[in-house]
Amino acid sequence: MPIFPWSDIHTVLLDMDGTLLDLHFDNHFWLEHLPVKLAEKEGISIAAAKQMMGAEYQRVMGTLEWYCLDYWADKLDIDIMQAKREIEHLISMRPDTLPFLDALHDSGREVVLVTNAHPNSLSLKIEHTQLDAHIDTLISTHEFGVTKESQALWQQLQQRLGFDPDHTLFVDDSLAILEAAQTFGIKYVLAVKNPDSKQAHREIDAFPAVDDYRPLVNEIRSQLPSVRR
């Protein structure tokens, strides 16, 4: 279990998909459900649709377009939100999310969701999980026009929130994004080994990593921030 000096952590920035929510919904949507929709629309095989979309995913991965529902709706001529609602029953929180969030919030730390998800996707997931009741601020990086992979995002985010990087923890399932946060100067980072409940746990050596937040809860609650914001 990663050991953090919790009394030194005043702000906690959290990713959403794969970090607070099970990534299975997103993986199933983009890798299985949407290719089926495209195959039906274009009259091609599912394998061909997956190949087409895989090539397009690779082309825009890590950019704002990769996360933009409007981009994919235009590109594929498919109502992406309607397609998401067809499998919205798969949207779910990780079982360890609420104990983690409540410990952070109850201990007086500032808790902020920072997601690359499109605002419409964020709204759909909030609708299904009521995650907003446990978080101080919800931010989609689309409002900044850049993603968490970009240093420009971190600069704008700090200007917006006023957090001190030396007293901030950032949690994400993307190793590339964790690296970007670390490059910016976020002192504490935490990776997620099991973002998708249907896939095997990952071995992560580059960052402190967890597969369950609940063992952290007692330390979070007992080590209050040394200086209240």
The catalytic site residues sit at: 8
3-state secondary structure 126-141: HHHHCHHHHCCEEEEH
Spacing of C-alpha 158 from chain mean position: 18
Q: Which of 124, 127, 94 is nearest to 14 (CA)?
A: 94
Give the three-class secondary structure for 113.
Answer: strand
Residue type, 18: G
Retrieve residue 29's tokens. 């949507």
Vertex 114 angle, CA 4 and 101, to 5°:
50
CB atoms inside a 10 Å sphere around CB 159: 9
Residue type, 50: K
| Contact between 80 and 73 (Cβ < 8 Å) | yes
Q: Which residues pair with 209 in a beta bridge?
A: 191
Nearest-angstrom CA–CA distance, 150 and 120: 22
